[in-house]
Structure 1
Amino acid sequence: MLALAWPLALTNLSQIALVLTDTLFLGRLGELPLAAATLGGNLYFIAMALPFGLAFATAAMLAQERGRVRHHMREMRRTMRQGAWLILPLFAVLGLGLWHTGAILRATGQDPALAEAAQTYNRALLWGMLPFYGFLLLRGFLAALERPWPALCVSMGAIGLNVVLDYALVAGGFGLPPLGVLGAGIASAVANASMFAALALWVSLDRRLSRFRLAGRFWRADWRRMREIIVIGTPIAGSMLLEIGIFSATALVMGWFGPGAVAAHAVALQVAGASFMVPMGIGQAATARVGLAAGALDAAGARRAGWAAISLGAGFMLLAAALLLSVPHAIAGLFLAPELAETRGLATTLLMVAGLFQLADGVQAVAAGALRGLKDTRVPMLIAALGYWGLGLPIGLGLGFPGGFGPLGVWIGLASGLGIVAVLMTLRWARLAGPGHPARLPHPGDGQNNRILSTSGLEFMEK
């Protein structure tokens, strides 16, 4: 599990490093550019929830198809093709929404200047959306083959490219005029496009990977397979939308406290998001390893993979929590100029709250990844809805406004919601993976060889 997880985690960290790079450069320009990129980025990732869900569903199907061994190259090629088909009409709709970021933010009560700057950022950033989805598909394909290194190498190269572009376009390096938030959006879009182009070239040139002929007969439809991706992927997208949405809603709430609160929230969120990339990578490895075992009808192997992943995620996040609770002021100082003393103080406080919910955030991410390996996605979405929106947001709003805690109260609500989701996700995995469950995983030696997992991961159907 660790051999597969840590390159995936580093790949995720390299991707969040693109956003962190933008944050570091924009934070030196003042509160408004940083707050604009934060609000615009939140809307961008809300729009990306459905593409992420479809990509993760495709990865889960690829893992189970490889686990079944026979004709897996043909099956995996068809799944990749239908996963690519689905994003084409989505991009037009999502791009149209992002193009009008300013109107959306003004409708939520944001400052007009802040909304206009966020729209400038998103109009540049959205051109990297389609290639980034292609990168996600190829990364899931490589994870199912337990070959995460190409995606990691490509992502690390994109960090260097983004740093150079941010220096040139945001800060005005190399004698170029500084473009501020527009430059940051262009830099990230180019970096995302380069990741897809480089990884696609890698797959086409690798002798073993090129045998899959992923682009072969691209025009042929497989409606049953497409429907399965949608059935599995829509709840994943719903779960991600609920989680991304709660942080985005929090950013909008922070806007009611002023640009300083948004900037402090941005710093704390970027740091917490960076640490989250590790358990997210472990969860992706869990999807692959649990899916491989489920496809091979190996119940014991699936259980071992899931619990090993949850243990790894919890262990790392305990270390991350210790770091955030030990030196929050120093971390805040990396992002905000010394003259922004009040904003740095608030960011320090929020970073300490982020340290308290690290363990819960990591466990729920890995448990969700393990459940995706069983194609169990609907109930996790309902758990996310209850934890984030049914309990977390109301608690945060209650503490932030009537309770008088301000931004701190909003983040305490976030921590509460994450804790609830972590407990329920872990209980869900324990129930489905446990040997005593009536719909437990089949095992070649337990008399259920004639059955395979259905789309839901909970019911069985005859071969």
Structure 2
Amino acid sequence: MPPALARLLGDSRALATLAVPLALTQLAQVALTTTDTIMMGLLGTEALAAGGLAMVIFNQLRTMGVGMVTAVGNQVAAADARAESGDSSGTVEDEIRDLVRASLLLSTLVGVVGAVLMVLIGHAVIWLGQDPEVVDAAKPILYTMAPGLIPCLWFQAIRQFTVGMRRPQALLRITLVSIAVNAGLNWAFIHGTWIFPELGLPGIGLATSLVYALSCLALYLSARRDPRLAPFLSLSVWKTRPATLRRLTGLGTPIAATYGSEAGFFFVVALFAGSFGTAALAAHTAVNQLVYIVFQIAVGLSHAASIGVSRELALHNLAAAQRLKATAVACAAAVMAVVGLVYVTAPGLALAPFFDNGDAKAVDIATQLLLVAAVLQFFDCAQNIGVGLLRGLDDTKGGFRVTLVGYWLVGLPAAALLGLALGLDTLGIWLGLLTGLATTAVLLLRRFDRGLGRLPRAAEAEPSQA
């Protein structure tokens, strides 16, 4: 076997140790929103459009909230690596414990603000060209989903801690159970089964909030039972050091802005699609959900590569950090090629769960969008990996600036030109989306190479097993 290939396989196995459970967890988590989307589709095209609009708003704020605590994983990983290399264990333990407290406090504050904004945005989208009936149907869903943002962010804070400590195994088990619970609660609240009230479409939002609360409790209790994690899991948020809270806020704000820039870009694209009617918005919602499902593989790779870079830089292994980039991108490209082949050769199979009512117009639009999605997802995954790699460098501001260029200065004008000005409708909007993601991916990966090249290379070592 050629040495380069042997090295790639070895690096892939090391990356997979953390990436596979994270990717499976991400896929399990997206099954929650996929279940919601399918349930909405069973209620009709208008319900799918309204639910899709509500989910776009929720995901916009949830994603930004997650960004505020994402850096916790990198900070914990770097501290843990220093402890393993012989740093003062008492000092490091105090640092990790304070990081956990600060992340829980920060997620609480962000969750409250996000829940309020969610309701306000739900009332404001009527001024952005959306169908009034769709907006009215979306509002009750947002009312029931908004409280769930707080336990959702608590879950993410504890999750980042467990990932930073390289003990994410419980995440997958908890998330798999939550899928079944979510499906059952969705059905119960929609139809009023057993002791549950019949809420219809808003019942999906209430089920989501309850599942987030139960998942957070389960993850906390699991971490409490883990002797490696329990000593650091402190709920005494009032003891948080102001300096730690400021550090996490300083790192998290650009990450939240980066995530928000991407989610906001997709939000505006959804509004563009909605301006072409209910069928277009339903088609966009279905295909976007498919892309989102596959995207979770890249999220797992991105988090694993990001944590790996933080650890390798703490140990001064710059060559290993560079290889993590190549390995993550290569693994993502291989998976995207297989999925893209399914989109092109069997679009009906991919779309079947979302259009049980047989809306021919929506299905035709969605089939066209799948052809674009087959290419788009390569760049979508690459840009997410790029953001994670920069986070490993603590270059959180750089990622945000790049997304401003790629999404808003390139992607959005391209979507408006192709979709609105040239009359390609939803297909043109997705071609603009593709253009923005491709630009962002190239700029992010190039910035990582340049940032890594500027670091001192005095203490190279063999890679640890990330």
Is 1:265 the equivalent of 2:284? yes
**Once the two structures are aligned, what percentage of the paired residues are identical?**
31
The letter of the residue matching 1:236 is I
Deviations 1:156-176 (A, max 9, x none): 110010111112122454586
Name the SS for the 2:105 alignment partner.
helix
The aligned runs of 1:393-412 (5 Å cut-off) are 393-412=412-431
- Aligned twin of 2:157: 137
Out of 248, 253, 270, which is 2:272 matched to?
253
Name the SS for the 1:126 alignment partner.
helix
Out of 150, 154, 158, which is 2:174 matched to?
154
Is the 8 Å Cα contact of residues 65 and 114 (structure 2) preserved in structure 1?
no
Instruction: Give me the whole-angstrom Cα distance separating, in 2, the residues matched to 1:141 and 1:92.
Output: 21
- Aligned twin of 1:13: 27
**Deviation of 1:109 (Å):** 2.5
**Deviation of 1:178 (Å):** 4.2
Out of 403, 417, 420, which is 2:439 matched to?
420
Out of 422, 444, 449, which is 2:459 matched to?
444
- Aligned twin of 1:298: 317
Instruction: Give me the whole-angstrom Cα distance separating, in 2, the residues matched to 1:175 and 1:231.
Output: 46
**Deviation of 1:40 (Å):** 1.0
- Aligned twin of 1:189: 209
Is the 8 Å Cα contact of residues 104 and 237 (structure 2) preserved in structure 1?
no
- Aligned twin of 1:451: none
- Aligned twin of 1:461: none
- Aligned twin of 2:362: 343
- Aligned twin of 1:53: 67
**Deviation of 1:357 (Å):** 0.9
Instruction: Give me the whole-angstrom Cα distance separating, in 2, the residues matched to 1:413 and 1:26.
Output: 27
The letter of the residue matching 1:389 is W
Deviations 1:79-124 (A, max 9, x none): 1111122233333322222223442111212222211221111111
**Deviation of 1:441 (Å):** 5.0
Is the 8 Å Cα contact of residues 100 and 233 (structure 2) preserved in structure 1?
no
Is the 8 Å Cα contact of residues 108 and 153 (structure 2) preserved in structure 1?
no
Deviations 1:35-87 (A, max 9, x none): 11111111112222332111211112111111211333221111111112223
- Tell me which moved more, 128-137 or 94-103: 94-103
The aligned runs of 1:181-260 (5 Å cut-off) are 181-215=201-235, 217-260=236-279
Q: Where do 5+ consecutive residues of structure 2 fail to align?
A: 1-14, 462-466
Is the 8 Å Cα contact of residues 396 and 410 (structure 1) preserved in structure 2?
yes
The aligned runs of 1:115-134 (5 Å cut-off) are 115-134=135-154
Instruction: Give me the whole-angstrom Cα distance separating, in 1, the residues matched to 2:161 and 2:122.
Output: 36
Is the 8 Å Cα contact of residues 78 and 222 (structure 1) preserved in structure 2?
yes
Instruction: Give me the whole-angstrom Cα distance separating, in 1, the residues matched to 2:360 and 2:374.
Output: 21
Q: Where do 5+ consecutive residues of structure 1 fail to align?
A: 447-463
TM-score normalized with structure 1 length = 0.91
- Classify 1:54/1:443 alpha carbon distance in 2 versus 1 (closer, same or farther; 3 Å): farther
The letter of the residue matching 2:437 is L
The letter of the residue matching 1:196 is C
- Tell me which moved more, 10-19 or 178-187: 178-187
Instruction: Give me the whole-angstrom Cα distance separating, in 1, the residues matched to 2:142 and 2:381.
Output: 29
- Aligned twin of 1:356: 375
Is 1:2 the equivalent of 2:16? yes
Name the SS for the 1:401 alignment partner.
helix
Instruction: Give me the whole-angstrom Cα distance separating, in 2, the residues matched to 1:382 and 1:45.
Output: 21
Out of 51, 70, 84, which is 1:37 matched to?
51
Instruction: Give me the whole-angstrom Cα distance separating, in 1, the residues matched to 2:46 and 2:52.
Output: 10
Name the SS for the 2:59 alignment partner.
helix
Deviations 1:296-316 (A, max 9, x none): 222223223332222222222
Is the 8 Å Cα contact of residues 309 and 324 (structure 2) preserved in structure 1?
yes
Is 1:169 the equivalent of 2:189? yes
Is 1:326 the equivalent of 2:341? no
**Deviation of 1:349 (Å):** 1.0
Is the 8 Å Cα contact of residues 298 and 441 (structure 1) preserved in structure 2?
no
- Tell me which moved more, 305-314 or 136-145: 305-314
Instruction: Give me the whole-angstrom Cα distance separating, in 1, the residues matched to 2:458 and 2:74.
Output: 19
Is the 8 Å Cα contact of residues 383 and 442 (structure 2) preserved in structure 1?
yes
- Tell me which moved more, 424-433 or 32-41: 424-433
**Deviation of 1:334 (Å):** 1.9
Name the SS for the 1:42 alignment partner.
helix
The letter of the residue matching 2:245 is M
- Classify 1:381/1:213 alpha carbon distance in 2 versus 1 (closer, same or farther; 3 Å): closer
Deviations 1:378-407 (A, max 9, x none): 111111111111111111111112211111
Q: Tell me the number of residue pairs that the alignment of Structure 1 and Structure 2 aligns.
A: 441
- Aligned twin of 2:7: none
Is 1:180 the equivalent of 2:200? yes
Is the 8 Å Cα contact of residues 300 and 443 (structure 1) preserved in structure 2?
no
- Tell me which moved more, 42-51 or 398-407: 42-51
Name the SS for the 1:162 alignment partner.
helix
- Tell me which moved more, 174-183 or 336-345: 174-183
- Aligned twin of 1:450: none
- Classify 1:372/1:168 alpha carbon distance in 2 versus 1 (closer, same or farther; 3 Å): same
Name the SS for the 2:167 alignment partner.
coil
The letter of the residue matching 2:161 is F
Instruction: Give me the whole-angstrom Cα distance separating, in 2, the residues matched to 1:175 and 1:58.
Output: 41
Deviations 1:213-254 (A, max 9, x none): 433x43213122222212211111111111111111111111
The letter of the residue matching 2:31 is A
Name the SS for the 1:297 alignment partner.
coil
Is the 8 Å Cα contact of residues 69 and 107 (structure 2) preserved in structure 1?
no
Is the 8 Å Cα contact of residues 204 and 210 (structure 1) preserved in structure 2?
yes
**Deviation of 1:205 (Å):** 1.7
Instruction: Give me the whole-angstrom Cα distance separating, in 2, the residues matched to 1:129 and 1:338.
Output: 31
Is the 8 Å Cα contact of residues 25 and 171 (structure 1) preserved in structure 2?
no
Is the 8 Å Cα contact of residues 294 and 441 (structure 1) preserved in structure 2?
no
Q: Give the root-mean-square deviation of aligned CA atoms.
A: 1.7
- Tell me which moved more, 68-77 or 420-429: 68-77
The letter of the residue matching 2:263 is I
Instruction: Give me the whole-angstrom Cα distance separating, in 2, the residues matched to 1:12 and 1:414.
Output: 23
TM-score normalized with structure 2 length = 0.91
- Aligned twin of 1:67: 81
